[in-house]
Structure formats: structure tokens, C-alpha cells
Chain A
């Protein structure tokens, strides 16, 4: 009796599992069909066109208008492919795309972070674009080499650079004048920067800060100054080595600690910086700092929120004469997720997106630095001084793609540097500890 009962339960469970499997089967069948069916229905409705989806996060304002105009222009430029613009919130779009790629039903083109291309290449999340690139002679030379190199995994490119950014110094000319400084002579070295900054400071006797001439961690982190100190990444990408406790990097941390954190007091700095925000409360816009290191888009904030501000621009001052006005850039690539249904058509769209007309249009509307060299040097665009500054600054801009053998290594470095600001570690100690932690990380991953 008991046995029969077990048999019965077994049967029931088996039945349930079958039903489940069947349901799951149906579901996946439907899923498998839906892109096909949508493109088929697309076939009937729009005359045999291949339907593509472009995923990004440009869901409002200027960005949305600009990308949709580019998509529209592309759709009108030929009659085989129809691209649809789909946007999700920043950050979400990548998690969503990851899930879609894992499920075998990815978008056709996606805008991705340029610093993590190799990790997607390795994990088979992005399509190898090398076969397409080889069919187009001179294709890679259209782009800034440091951007192009960031997209390479095992000698193949997995993403085409779309936009980039670079950081340089904005300074308030009126404040310079008021402090008795020459508004046409921005600082060029760290020493000059500091001397000018002190003159621009407005700090009350009890240490309360009303305005700082310069604060290296206003809207950027300390790593920008560390990159600026020697123009080198924290990782020697050629030899797979951590290069964190180098003398110049340690000196950069020491410089920030001595001249800012210790000089003004951590508590006062914390109170001062806690009110930094975006737009209106952007520290340069609101006049809380007289100099700031920022991307070119800072200019749009000033334009929109402090139109009367009379500002100048200069490369980031160098650590010592001759060390270089190094800056840091990020950016985005256009990629074809692995398993996309129409890679040839996707490639056609990516080519359009990264070619001169689309790139020029993009740059002229949203003032991002674009990856296409020719577009970025468009004479019309260069008439805008901010844009010209950004383009010129590309020569000083390094990218720091996260290597596969040191995933998320900055998460090991930053806490150590935080301890320096707290006075718990010396810069040398912090960078030595970071060096060791990242060396261990590299050992584990190779």
C-alpha cells in the first residue's frame, strides 16, 4: 500500500515536472519566436527590412533627441535595416542586457562602457568585430588610438569607440581678478596651482570653509591627480603588473593629504564637500570652488545655471615642470552582444554611428568628445572654445581599462587611500598595502 502510494506521488510529481517542462518549453519557444516574429511582422509591415534594437540610457532631454535623429537618419539612408531606439535607466541597461544575452536573446546593438570591453569579450557577452573591421581598410585609424586599444581582447576588437571624455581645468576669471591674480595666466604646475588656490580661499578663522581656490576631489576622485602625476595607469598592461606604490603616485596622495585634508582639517573638508551636488549645487557653478577639474560638459552646467560666470580653461597643471598635463578619460563603445540575430546589419548601424556625420552631429549637440578623430576635429565644432579645449586635451588623456586579471582592483585601493584621509595610514603605507592586495588579486586571476 505504502509503495503504491509512493508510486502515486512519484507519478504526480512526474506529471507536474512534465507540465512545468512543457510550460517552460512553450515559454522559451515563444521567446525564441518573438524576435523572429517581430522581424517577420516587420517584414510584412516595412517591406522586408531587418529590425534592429539599439539599447542605451539616453531617455530624455538633448541626448534622446540626438540619438533618435541619428537613428532616424540611418533608417532613411538605406532600405534594408530599420533600427529602433530602446532606452533603460543608466546602469540597469547593462544588467538587463546581460540577462538578455545569457538567455540568448540580446539586443542588436548596445552602448557599453569602454573600460570593461575585454571582460565582456572574455565572457562571451560581446561579438568579435575583427572580421568586419578587416573588410574595411583603415577603419581603426579613424579613432583615437588610446580608445581603440581599450577595445582589444586577444588582438581582436570587440567594440567600436563611440564617445570619450577628458578632464581639464576650469577656472573662474572674475575670482582670479578679485584675488589679484592674472585671469589670463592659469596655473601650470601643482606649486602654482596651490599658490593660486590659497589666494582664492575664503576660510573663516574657526576653519569653516566658504570657498576653496581648488579642491582636488571636487566632483572627481583622487585618482585623477594620481594619473596626472605621471601619466601612467595603476596597472602595467603590457607586463600584467601592479604599479600602485610608485614614487609619483605616493607623492600625489601625499600632496593631496598635506595641502588639503591636513591643511584644512578633515572635518571642515567633510562639512564643505558634503554639500557638493549636481546642477545648481555643482561646486564650480555655485562658486564654492574657483577652480575645478572637469569634463567638457561642465560648460553646459555653467551655461544653464550660472550664465554670467566668466571662466577660462587650461590643461590640468603638471606635478613638476615637464611631468606632463596628464588627464584621464572614460567613454563608451558600440557593441554587438554575443548571439545577436543579425550581426551584419548591426555592424552596418555601428559603422554609421561611429562615422563622421553622426559623430559630428553628436558632438555639436551634446558636447561630448567623440571617438572619431575626423569628426572631433570638425572646423565648425572647433569654433566652440570648450570643444576645442577638449579635443586638444586628448593628447594628454589616458584611459585605464580594467584588465581581466585584476577585476575591480580599485575596490582594493580606494579603501586604503580613504584611510590616509582619516590619518590612519601614511600615503606610503596605503599604497604599499594596495600594491600587495592587487598583486595578490592578479596572482589569483592568472
Chain B
């Protein structure tokens, strides 16, 4: 029997000695060995069984179920008939709100994520300066991240009030007559991006720790060569933290694609108003699933979103070769 190294999907903690894969000529010995290997295999699997069971029951199962459901007219209680690609056809051809929701979501992703990424980098650059009280400010900027959900959105609805809201009051101080943020469709999405900039805490922490691990000697060398602060930032800091930027962009993008709560809480009638300007993909999906009971259609939408996110993430990965710098060397 040829010897083969078999890669085995065990968690990395358990290693199987090489001798296991060495077959003997003696049948009994082989049997014994295979039995003991079987035993080890079982031991391995039993160690990860809690996760496996959890995954199959709570994630994998429902995931596959929703894939199946996306090809049916499932309405939760009375029917689940195979309708082929009907849900997808309807999505692309005859649901005007679908494309509106795609547009709104892409807008939010492609405007919101760059702003929040640049914002977080700038913020952490400032906060990584060794000045008195930096720790206090770090805490201050992280605090909004601790607050969550509906309370924050309600607070922002007050702050975005056209005449007495805090945002417009400050703008008025600078002589700017602020817009009716949440009533004017042209300003609803910018309002949400603004709100997003307020809770950069998590990204900020990531960047801060990445910046602190940039070797000091690089800066020193650059300084000796006559590079100024700005130049040092662009030629040392940015490349050195680029893996974290990359990670942050991917995670933020996926998060932005899933934007839901903000629109659900802050829009008129929970329907994404005014003029559907806050009708994001997931809000439309939610309405289809839980207002209209079109669970099949909603599942189809969910899988389509998965494909979009997957595609954009793959593009991101491909492009990353050209700007992400790994200390292990470029793999370009």
C-alpha cells in the first residue's frame, strides 16, 4: 500500500504521529493500528463535537434550509412549493423597491466605509501621539462604541433635529443653515454616515495597537534620512498597518452591507422613508419576510446579498496584493 500523508480536518491542537500512516505487511497489525487510529479519530472528533453539533444545528442547518427556501414560495406557516428561480426573477425584474434598496446600500457602503476608515486612521494617529491625557481621550472616543442600538439612534434623532438639534445648532454657530437631516431624502444617508463616524471605537483600537507595534527604529532611520512627520506617516505608518487597514475595510464593508437597525429605527413608518431613501437591503428583506410573509423571497434576497458581499470581498482580496504590505515579504 502506498504511503500517503492524509490531511485530516482536525483542529490544530491534536496532532497525529506520522507512524500512524505507515502501513505494515501484517494484516493483524494493520487492523490493530487502524482500530487505534479510529479510536484517536473519534477522540479528536469528540473534542470538537460541541462546536460541530452547535454548528450543524444552529448555523449550518438553517443556512442550507434558507438556500432551499430561496427556491420556494415559503410563507412560514402554510406553503413551501418549489418555484425554481421565480424569486430571483421577481427580484431583478419586477420589484422596484429591490433596486432602490440595492442602490441605497451600495451608497452607504461605498461612501460610509471610506469615511469611517479614513476617520479611524486619523483619529488613532492623533491619539497615538505621546501627549498628556491621550489615555483619557482614547477612552472618550471609545465610549460611544459601548452604547448600543436603539438608545443611540433615538439620541441621534434628537441631535439631528433641524432647528433645535445639536448638529444644526453647532452648524449655525459657523453660519451654516443645516439641512433637515432625517426629513430630506438628500440628507438621510449622509446623516447615517455622520452617525457612523461617531462610533469608530473598535476600528480605532485596532489601528492604535497596530501603530504601537510599528518598530521605532524605522521612524528613527527615516528621521535621520530627513523625512518629515507627514512623509513618515505615509511611507512607514501606513504600509506597516496596511494589513489592519485591509482587515478593517473588509469587516466594515460586510457590516455596512448589513445595515438595518439605523434605518428601521430612524426612518418614517419603519419603511425606509422619506422617499425610500433609507430603504436598505436588509430593511427591505425584513419587510418582505415579516410584514408580507414572503420568506422564500426574503431568503432569495439574503443569498443574493451573500453573493454580492462575497464578490466584493474577493475583489478586495485580489486588489490587496497591490497595497497591503506584510512583514513576511510581499507575495505579489
A9, B8: Cα distance in complex, Å: 10
Map CB proximity to B onto A116-130 as digits: 1 under 8 Å, 0 otherwise.
000100111100000
Contact of B78 among A5, A122, A437 (CB under 8 A): A122
Contact of A271 among B4, B34, B162, B276 (CB under 8 A): B162
Those 5 A-B pairs whose CB atoms lie nearest each other, nearest first = A270-B180, A124-B78, A418-B275, A271-B162, A415-B276
Please state if A444 and B90 are interface contacts (CB–CB under 8 Å): yes
* Shortest Cβ distance from residue A33 to the other chain B in the assembled complex, whole angstroms: 20
Binds A, one of B106-114, B181-189, B205-213, B231-239: B181-189
B85 at the interface (CB under 8 A from A): no
Q: Contacts A98-B290, A274-B180, A274-B182: A23 and B77 contacting too (C-beta < 8 A)?
A: no
User: Among residues 196 to 212 in chain A, which have CB atoms less than 8 Å away from a CB atom of chain B?
Assistant: 208
Please state if B42 and A418 are interface contacts (CB–CB under 8 Å): no
Please state if A119 and B77 are interface contacts (CB–CB under 8 Å): no
B53 to A, closest residue via Cβ: A20
A267 at the interface (CB under 8 A from B): yes
Q: What are the residues of chain B within 8 A of A273 when measuring CB–CB?
A: 183
B57 at the interface (CB under 8 A from A): yes
Please state if B77 and A407 are interface contacts (CB–CB under 8 Å): no
Contact of B77 among A101, A410, A414 (CB under 8 A): A101
Q: What are the residues of chain A within 8 A of B59 when measuring CB–CB?
A: none
A6 to B, closest residue via Cβ: B6
* Shortest Cβ distance from residue A341 to the other chain B in the assembled complex, whole angstroms: 16
Q: Contacts A123-B76, A419-B275, A437-B96: A270 and B293 contacting too (C-beta < 8 A)?
A: no
B11 at the interface (CB under 8 A from A): no
**Chain B contact residue count (CB 8 A cutoff):** 51
B145 at the interface (CB under 8 A from A): no
Binds B, one of A11-19, A45-53, A181-189: A11-19
Please state if A123 and B78 are interface contacts (CB–CB under 8 Å): yes
Please state if A271 and B290 are interface contacts (CB–CB under 8 Å): no
Please state if A408 and B184 are interface contacts (CB–CB under 8 Å): no
A208, B78: Cα distance in complex, Å: 54
Contact of B287 among A2, A4, A408, A444 (CB under 8 A): A408
B311 at the interface (CB under 8 A from A): no
A95, B291: Cα distance in complex, Å: 9
Binding site for A on B (CB under 8 A): 1, 4, 6, 8, 21, 23, 34, 37-38, 41-42, 45, 49, 52-53, 56-57, 75-79, 90, 94, 96-97, 100, 161-165, 180, 182-185, 268-269, 271, 273-276, 279, 287, 290-294
* Shortest Cβ distance from residue A217 to the other chain B in the assembled complex, whole angstroms: 11
Please state if A1 and B77 are interface contacts (CB–CB under 8 Å): no
Q: What are the residues of chain A within 8 A of B290 when measuring CB–CB?
A: 95, 98
Q: Contacts A408-B291, A440-B94: A16 and B49 contacting too (C-beta < 8 A)?
A: yes
A411, B23: Cα distance in complex, Å: 69
Residue in A4, A414, A437 whose Cβ sees the most chain B Cβ within 10 Å: A414
Q: What are the residues of chain A within 8 A of B163 when measuring CB–CB?
A: 208, 271-272, 274-275
**Chain A contact residue count (CB 8 A cutoff):** 47
* Shortest Cβ distance from residue A372 to the other chain B in the assembled complex, whole angstroms: 29
Please state if A16 and B56 are interface contacts (CB–CB under 8 Å): yes
Please state if A12 and B41 are interface contacts (CB–CB under 8 Å): yes
Q: What are the residues of chain A within 8 A of B23 when measuring CB–CB?
A: 1
Q: What are the residues of chain A within 8 A of B90 when measuring CB–CB?
A: 444
A8 at the interface (CB under 8 A from B): yes
Map CB proximity to B onto A407-435 as digits: 1 under 8 Å, 0 otherwise.
11011101100110110000000000000
Contact of B293 among A2, A119, A272, A274 (CB under 8 A): A119
With A125-B77, A270-B162, A422-B184 given, name 15 new contacts (CB 8 A): A1-B1, A4-B34, A8-B42, A123-B78, A123-B79, A267-B180, A273-B183, A274-B163, A410-B271, A411-B97, A412-B97, A418-B276, A419-B275, A421-B274, A444-B94
Contact of B76 among A98, A267, A272, A444 (CB under 8 A): A98
B31 to A, closest residue via Cβ: A4
A248, B6: Cα distance in complex, Å: 77
Please state if B77 and A338 are interface contacts (CB–CB under 8 Å): yes
Please state if B38 and A8 are interface contacts (CB–CB under 8 Å): yes
Q: What are the residues of chain B within 8 A of A17 when measuring CB–CB?
A: 56
* Shortest Cβ distance from residue B258 to the other chain A in the assembled complex, whole angstroms: 19
